[in-house]
Amino acid sequence: MSDKIRANIFLLSALLTVFILAQGITVYAYWVWTPKTGKWVNPKYAVKGTPDEQMEWALKFYKSEEYKRAVSEFEKLIENYPNSIQAPIAQYYIGLSYEAMEEFYKAFLAYQKSIDKYPYNERFTETIERQYNIGNIFLDGQKAKIMGMKILPALDKAVEILSKVVENEPFGKYADLAQFKVGEAHLKQEFYEDAMIAFQKLIDDYPSSELVEDAKYNIALCTYYVSRDPYYDQNFTDKAIDEYKELIKKTSDTAVHKEANETLTKLREKKAKSAFETAKFYERTKHYRSAIIYYQEIIDNYGDTAVAEEAKAKISDLEGKLANDG
């Protein structure tokens, strides 16, 4: 804008003011011209003269539960006074404001911005705790919002947030808890291999954690779930059996011990039935000696399963056929 235009605007404003005063009209100035910025500004929304004043102004809206306006005022403080001691506090309060509005993912992002921009601020540990709690909210079933409506399951957000908690403070109070819950989130999504990796990371990185035994149990559980899927090969069943045997050997928890034994029994039944089906195939194709080998494997390795007695009868029958074929 040229100086001539500015001068004309100023002259018109002055004439208008004189007219209003002459008429005795009471008015309130909503917009004023500021030569410093070269803009018209509404004083009601202008940043205050000092960071302390701006903080006090923003807190006024936060305390009166006008959270959207509070976010706007805290953002102004950060934009206009980025190096002030109030800036990290303002960023933290942005997160608090979004939490109060139940905009939990936005709150997480605000807290992460606080950690990234102000890693040495005095609220660092409290910020990590708030991120951890938000991760739990998503893990427990909070849905993501689109256009203000909660419509999408958000376990992926739980993984993102809890993983960030571990990354932000890998040896902090919540690190092993967050890592364990990353595994739980994958488990809920039925991403069993991702869950196993997450639980194994807890075991490797936090060997003294109280959650190590639970992580081992969940790894065994994941291998069991994977073994039930017909698209995976039987090696997963073998791995699951090994995991449960190891778990039974090491656990001192009676309930876990009982459940592990029950699952191990199911896995052994599965292996026995698989061998039985293979034996029946060789029997149908008249490869009797091969069939006997598989039936014998059931007796030798899975003698306590439901098909073991049937395998014995099959061997007796096939041996008779071989003798007759002589």
In a domain, 32, yes or no: yes
Cβ-in-10-Å burial (0-12, 13-18, 19+) of 108 comes to buried
First to last CA, the chain: 111
In a domain, 200, yes or no: no
In a domain, 25, yes or no: yes
Per the structure, the count of domains in the chain is 1
- d(C-alpha 191, C-alpha 188), whole Å: 8
Residues 76-89: pLDDT tens digits? 999 999 999 999 99
In a domain, 10, yes or no: yes
pTM of the entire predicted model: 0.64
**Which DSSP helix (H) or strand (E) runs through 108?**
helix 104-117
Cβ within 8 Å of residue 148, ≥6 positions away: none
In a domain, 125, yes or no: no
Q: Give me the pLDDT at residue 81, please.
A: 96
Number of H helices and number of E strands within the chain? 14, 4
Sign of CA dihedral 171, 172, 173, 174: negative
The closest alpha carbon to 160, from 209, 200, 125, 109, belongs to 109
The DSSP line for 20-80 is HHHHT-------EEETTTTEEE-GGGSPPSSHHHHHHHHHHHHHTT-HHHHHHHHHHHHHH
Q: Give me the pLDDT at residue 324, please.
A: 74
Q: Give me the pLDDT at residue 16, please.
A: 55
Cβ within 8 Å of residue 15, ≥6 positions away: none
Where residue 9 falls (left for φ over 0; alpha for ψ -120 to 50; beta otherwise) is alpha
Cβ-in-10-Å burial (0-12, 13-18, 19+) of 134 comes to buried
In a domain, 264, yes or no: no
For residue 149, what are the β-bridge partners? Answer: 146
Give the chain's residues under pLDDT 70: 1-45, 143-153, 228-236, 240, 252, 256, 326
State the amino acid at position 312 in one-letter form.
Answer: K
In a domain, 1, yes or no: yes
Vertex 129, ends 127 and 134: CA angle to 5°? 95
The range of the structural domain enclosing residue 41 comes to 1-46
